[in-house]
Amino acid sequence: MKSFNESGKGVWRVSGDEDCPHGSTIMLGSDKGNNQYYQCQECGAVIIIEGESSPEQERERMEREKEEEKSGFDKFTEKLR
């Protein structure tokens, strides 16, 4: 189920109680896309708030990952020489 909070960000809830206001949540962490993960301490729901990464940022991130991959591969091939 997807809904939006006041700031217009996408919010996802995974499992948990539909009637719970999810008043006391703890942050579980965030991923590379800036999505934030919270868990409700009352009903155990996991709430995901979508990150603000724009398509522009997303592209930069992918470029960076590609670079990292390449350097990792270079290191690997260096060992073979």
Closest to Zn ion by CB, 10 vs 44, is 44
Closest CA to 11 of 51, 49, 45: 49
Quick check: 48 and 37 in contact, CB under 8 A? yes
Contact residues for Zn ion (CB under 5 A)? 20, 22, 40, 42-43, 45
**Smallest gap from residue 62 Cβ to Zn ion (A):** 34
Cα separation, 46 vs 41, in Å, equals 9
Instruction: Tally Cβ neighbours within 10 Å of residue 40.
Output: 20
Closest to Zn ion by CB, 43 vs 53, is 43
**Smallest gap from residue 54 Cβ to Zn ion (A):** 30
Closest to Zn ion by CB, 40 vs 49, is 40
